Amino acid sequence: MSSSIHQIEEQARSLSAEDRAKLAEFMLESLHTSIEEIEAASSEEIALRIDAFENGGISAYLAEQVFAEARQILQ
């Protein structure tokens, strides 16, 4: 990371939560994707996943099972 980006990051962290949120929104929009487009894509993905789950297209796992497998892998 360049020093100028590091400086900008430090300055951004010193902003209020509201100003950081506004800055984040501006930065996302500067990537040519509006917040509305991001939210619409997220909503569409959520709906697709819910539909797939409800129709048996994807599986669900108990959290306990997932954590047990993760612990096994990490040992």
17 vs 37: which has the higher pLDDT: 17
- pLDDT in the model for residue 36: 86
- pLDDT in the model for residue 17: 95
Continuous H helices in 1-75:
3-13, 17-30, 35-54, 63-74
Residue 1 in this model has a pLDDT that exceeds 80: no
- For 20-69, the pLDDT digits (tens) are 999 998 888 888 878 888 899 999 999 999 999 999 999 899 999 999 99
Residue type, 30: S
Residue with tokens 């993905």: 45
Residue with tokens 């993760």: 70
The residue ranges of every structural domain in the chain are: 3-74
**Structure-token pair, residue 58:** 């994807």
**Structure-token pair, residue 15:** 């902003």
Burial of 32 (0-12, 13-18, 19+ CB in 10 A): exposed
